[in-house]
Amino acid sequence: MMTCQTPYILLLLCVGVSAVEVQRPRGVPLSKRQFYEENKPFTCLDGSRTIPFDRVNDDYCDCQDSSDEPGTAACPNGSFHCTNAGFRPGFIPSSRINDGICDCCDTTDEYNSGAACQNTCREMGRKERESLQKMAEITKEGFLLKQQLIQEAKRGLEDKKAKHSDVQISKKDLENMVEALRTVKETAEQPEKEAKERHLKAWEDQKAVIQMEKDKARMTEVFPELDDDADGFVSVAELLSHSELDPDSDGSFTEAEAQGLLGGVDQVDAVTFESVWNNIKEKYISESNADTPAPVETPTEEIREPASDNDSEQYPEDDIPDEEEEEEEEEEEEDDDQDEGDYKSPPTTQTQEKKDDDDEGTMPPYEQETQNLIDAAQKARDAFDETEKALREVDDQIKNLEKEISFDFGPSAEFAYLYSQCYELTTSEYTYRLCPFNRVSQKPKFGGSETNLGTWGHWAGPEDNIYSLMKYEHGTGCWQGPNRSTMIKVTCGKETVLVSTSEPSRCEYLMEFISPAVCQEPPNPDSALHGHEEL
């Protein structure tokens, strides 16, 4: 192999080369020259038949394997060899011979079409050498950087492993502490609970008495209201004027139903009414406010917030355990999408009851003794919660460390430096953000919400180069289409940068990402640069 050192020599050489080429039939590569011996019968390369040599390149296809027409377009699957002196030799399908389009940079494919082709091999060769050289430099530097990255990753991994064992120890300590504090808490909570129950029972009893009296008073008011003809009896007919009392609420309040409410008789006096009242008091609408609609469907939105506020104040011993409540709060922080009202709002009927309760006043404050017990228990709870929280944090830390330690960051962990980094690329419309091993997203440049283009899936390169492609999947769904996904093509470079993005198919993105981590060890620099010319 020789190299054209100066343009002058190259020119001479190339002229010389083409003079030599005349010796073999058009379109035949040097490697197959021996099969095409002039003036000897030609045997198709598949051995299928032998033809006179003048039928080689005679513009008629005789061989099934197309080998008799290397220099014409006569055979369907033939290929034509261009020497391309000054550049790289190559093959083109023989259907591109003399089709009026310049394919070979040395113009040899258009020898009879009238196409005005320019020999561009030297220029292309120069450009290719330049770019190869540039590439080689980049690869070289990139590969050096990669070595650093590998070292860093190694150190990082060791650090993490060390940290992992440290944290394991503090976890043990915390676990012990949590157990101790749990005992303290439970010991303090037992007397607190008993004291509170006593207090509550007293209050409930008192409330029941008040409620009964109210009920009775209301009944006394209602009887004359119902007794339209003031005969001292409430009759079926009189009851029927109150359609809201319809027991099955089917829109038709029948006499039989009314009679049922009256206990099977046609009318009742004030005394018997007492038992009737219990059946209808929930539904009854006083005639004095009959024109205001019954608050059956209170708009929940309006009531929700204040109602739940009352809730926590009024019932300090709320039956949701504190622990669970805290978890839910965390969840809420994590998941923005979840509707805030979902678990906070009590059913509407409860709201109703609470309104009634309001009428009956609020529970009297605890006595000092009870309050002291509550305070003590609260203190124990707080201490326990705090320690437990610390334990959970340590657990998370361990989990994260373990994940990172076991993560596939490449054969030498050279991709580890990308972990928890993000890279952005801004196009005319969007800002794209790649957080390697986490997610890819897209945000409109001029306002609008972010779209998830996929979360880390797996390495997806071909078997021999699996770390050349990253796949991010299960992004935001497309209308009538798949969930968005992104392929990241990683190529060698000195910097770490996101260079391009496209959407070849709807919702399937393709991005190019440069990183030293994929730079391969450069081969012997001389052989990389040269050796592409057939001379």
Partner 1 sequence: MAPVLVLWLAVSLSGTWAVDKGNFKTCDQSSFCKRQRALKPGESPYRALLETMELTNTRLTLQLINDNNKVRLLLELYRLQGNITRVKINELKPLKLRYEVPDVLIRDPPTEPLSLLSQDENGVVLSLGAESQRVIVSARPFRLDIMEGREVLMSLNSRGLLAFEHLRMRKDTFSYKVTSTVASVWDNIKRVFSSSQADPEAEKKEETDPAKQAETAKEEEEKVEDGMWEETFKSHSDSKPNGPSAVSLDFSLPGVEHVYGIPEHADTLRLKTTENGDPYRLYNLDVFQYELYNPMALYGAVPVMLAHNAQRTTGIFWLNAAETWVDISSNTAGKTVFGKMLDYVQGSSETPQTDVRWISESGIIDVFIMLGPTPKDVFAQYASLTGTQAFPPLAAVGYHQCRWNYNDQEDVTSVDAGFDEHDIPYDYIWLDIEHTDGKRYFTWDPHKFASPKEMLQGLMDKKRKMVAIVDPHIKVDTNYKIHNEIRSRSFYIKNKDGGDYEGWCWPGSAGYPDFTRADMRDWWASMFAYDQYEGSMENLYTWNDMNEPSVFNGPEVTMHKDALHGAWEHRDVHNLYGFYVQMATAEGLIQRSGGVERPFVLTRAFFAGSQRYGAVWTGDNAAEWDHLKVSIPMCLSLGLVGISFCGADVGGFFKSPSTELLVRWYQTGAYQPFFRAHAHLDTPRREPWLFGPENTALIREAVRQRYTLLPYWYQQFYHAHRTGQPIMRPLWVEYPEDPATFALDDEFLIGRDLLVHPVTEEGARGVTAYLPGKDEVWFDVHTFQKHNGAQNLYIPVTISSIPVFQRGGSIIPRKIRVRRSSSCMMHDPYTLYVALNPQRTAEGELYIDDGHTFNYEKEFIHRRLSFANNLLSSVNLAPDAQFSTRSWIERIVILGASKPSKVILKTDDGQESQLEFDFDSSMSVLTLRKPGMNAGVDWNVMLQ
**Which residues are at the interface with partner 1 (CB under 8 A)?**
58-60, 73-74, 76, 93, 95-96, 99-101, 428, 478-482, 502-508
Judged by beta carbon, residue 400 or residue 502, the one nearer partner 1 is: 502
Q: Which residue has the tokens 């992104």?
A: 486
Alpha-carbon distance values, 503 to 442, 443, 490 (Å): 12, 15, 17
Least spacing, CB of residue 453 vs partner 1, in Å: 16
Q: What are the helix and strand counts (H, E) for the chain?
A: 11, 14
Find all residues with CB under 8 Å of 268, minimum gap 6, and list them: 233, 234, 262, 276
In the complex, least distance from residue 86 CB atom to partner 1, rounded to whole angstroms = 22
Q: With respect to partner 1, which residue has the nearer C-beta, 72 or 496?
A: 72
Least distance (Å) from partner 1 to the CB of residue 84?
A: 17
The nearer residue to partner 1, 97 or 374, going by C-beta atoms, is 97
When the beta carbons of 314 and 500 are compared against partner 1, the nearer one is 500
How far lies 515's CA from each of 68, 142, 167, 225, 358, in Å?
48, 8, 33, 86, 67
* Least distance (Å) between residue 82 CB and partner 1: 15
Smallest separation (angstroms) from partner 1 to the CB of 480: 5
What is the secondary structure of 472-485 as a DSSP string?
EE--SBPTTS-B-E
Q: Is 128 left (phi over 0), alpha (psi -120 to 50) or beta?
A: alpha
Closest separation in Å from C-beta 353 to partner 1:
40
**Cβ pair 385, 326 in contact under 8 A:** yes
Kindly state the DSSP code that residue 519 receives in the 8-state scheme: P
Nearer Cβ to partner 1 (8/446): 446
Nearer to partner 1, 60 or 315 (CB): 60
Contacts of 385 (CB under 8 A, 6+ apart): 322, 323, 326
Strand pairing partners for 505? Answer: 508
Residue 267 DSSP SS3:
strand
Which own/partner pairs from 44-50 qualify as long-range (CB within 8 Å, at least 24 positions apart)? Answer: 44/68
- Comparing CB distances to partner 1, the nearer of 378 and 483 is 483
Closest CB 115 distance from partner 1, rounded Å: 10
3-class DSSP assignment, residue 466: helix
- Long-range own/partner contacts, residues 1-4 (CB < 8 A, 24 or more apart): 1/530, 1/531, 1/533, 1/535, 2/535, 3/530, 3/533, 4/86, 4/533
> CB of residue 190 vs partner 1: minimum separation in angstroms?
57
Q: Of 449 and 527, which has the nearer Cβ to partner 1?
A: 449
Least distance between partner 1 and beta carbon 448 (Å) = 17
Strand partners, 439: 435, 455
* CB nearer partner 1, residue 165 or residue 480: 480
